[in-house]
Amino acid sequence: MTEDVGVSRGRLVLRRFRRRRIALFGLVAIVFLVLFAFLGPSLSKWNYSQKDYNAFLQPPSAQHWFGTTQIGADVYAQTLRGLQKSLVIGFLTAIISTGLAAIVGAAAGYYGGWTDRVLMWFVDLLLVLPSFLIIAILSPTFQGKTWLLFVVLLAGFSWMITARIVRGLTLSLKEREFVRAAEFMGVSSRTILFRHLLPNMSSILIIDATINVGGAILAETGLSYFGFGVQPPDVSLGTLIADGTKSALTYPWLFVFCGGLLILTVLAVSLVGDGLRDAVDPNSESSRL
């Protein structure tokens, strides 16, 4: 260890993170993707809902940077629109599901007894039912309604594994002196949960939220691919890929850009998550690159 004495923990983590070039690459890629998704549309004169009736199924050109679709829509504008939606859904879902996991896991671990048993049984139940199946079954109920409902469902069925990790951490934290001291001072259990237990595992929660972004984007695009997720007129990378797949061989531009951006997004997020995990816990020796 070459780190000097007296460096704050945040600075230490930052320094370790910076040392991982590949994680840094992931971070740069995410920043680039977010900027591209939200600022990119203004660079082109085409809107995602506009149709160019003089250009059906044209390959990429100076007019249409990513080409056009069967009905003359601009693929560049549509792809960026889809990327926006997938990114927003991914981040929102990850934040909600990690928050839920933190509360459920910490409550189960801290209260123990029947609370623990009931909550963990519920976790087991949701793990037996693949979330893809449940959300697909429920898809008719949110069709024609806001996509935020879809986010709530995605988050509602993706918090279980993180909750188990949080529960395990809580079990070991609650024996520590500072929690004991707070208990003896008569601090309410809810305050102990939110002020003492959860902040002490914030790094794990941040890492898990990052990793969950990738999972959420994959789940969203998978469901949207079959028409069970984002509904027209909204587009996401999943619906775009579904449309492009049929003509992937003959009109590759309908498929290459949305597919490539999806892979890049998920890859970047998982590299950052992995880099963060290594930076916070250098002993984990996880899949270091």
- Is residue 271 a contact residue for another protein (CB under 8 A)? yes
Tell me the per-residue interface mask from 177 to 216 with another protein, x by CB under 8 A, - otherwise.
-------------------------------------x--
Q: C-beta of 98: minimal distance to another protein in Å?
A: 17
For another protein, the closer CB: 110 or 251 = 251
Compute the distance between CA of residue 213 and CA of residue 210 in angstroms, rounded to an integer.
5
* 138 closest CA partner among 158, 159, 152, 120: 152
Looking at the DSSP bridge assignments, the partners of residue 73 are 51
Query: Which residues touch 99 (CB under 8 Å, ≥6 apart)?
Result: none
Contact pick of 241, 254, 261, 280 for another protein (by CB under 8 A): 241
Q: CB–CB of 50/74 below 8 Å? A: yes
Distance CA 122, CA 139 (A): 22
CA–CA distance, 67 with 61 (Å, rounded to integer): 6
CB of 60 to another protein, least distance (A): 18
284 scored as a contact of another protein (CB under 8 A): yes
Asked if 251 touches another protein (CB under 8 A), the answer is: no
Is residue 247 involved in binding another protein (CB under 8 A)?
no
Which H or E run contains 179?
helix 177-184
Of 12-20, 95-103, 179-187, 237-245, the segment contacting another protein by CB under 8 A is 237-245
Residues 166 and 172: their CA atoms lie apart, in Å, by: 10
Q: Binding of another protein at residue 65 (CB under 8 A)?
A: no
| The pair of three-digit structure tokens given for residue 105, joined into one six-digit string | 């896991």
Residues that bind another protein (CB under 8 A): 22, 124-125, 127-134, 136-141, 161, 214, 218, 221-222, 225-228, 241-242, 245, 248-249, 255, 259, 262-267, 270-271, 274, 284-289
